[in-house]
Amino acid sequence: MDELERDLLWLGVEDYTGLWQAVAEARAETSSLSEDRRRARRTIDSLLSRGLIELFVCQEPLNNETVEIVPPESQSAVLDEVASWEAPEEGGKSVRFATTEQGFAAYRKETGSTAE
């Protein structure tokens, strides 16, 4: 598990985390926005494929009543949309992820964390 995977798993533990935040975490000092998005996309794809995170579409402003899980067969199409990786406007839709129990267990194992 690399540093970006660990960072994203931690971000997704407490709340739904926007994909634009994954891009910010993927940012390297010498990279471009498109490189950051590609790196974030590869990492999100990897975490999804291993069942460590789930993907959601949310109506803004975010509240738990407006969150819908993205089924596995739709994830790639949602991730292909550039707007999925941008911060949403008020009243718009956002794409977010959350760490699964399996993901949190993998994070704790990787980091030696005893957090519950």
For range 55-73, the mean pLDDT: 88
In the prediction, which pLDDT does 31 show? 76
β pairing state of 67-69 and 17-18: unpaired
Please state, in angstroms and rounded to a whole number, the distance separating the CA atoms of residues 110 and 53.
16
Instruction: Classify domain 3-111 by CATH architecture.
Output: Orthogonal Bundle (1.10)
Express each pLDDT in 80-115 by its tens digit.
Answer: 999 999 999 988 999 999 999 999 999 999 988 776
Residue holding tokens 């089924």?
Answer: 71
User: How many Å separate Cα 5 from the centre of its chain?
Assistant: 10
Residue ranges per domain, the chain? Answer: 3-111
Radius of gyration of the chain (CA): 14
Confidence of residue 78 (pLDDT cuts 50, 70, 90): very high
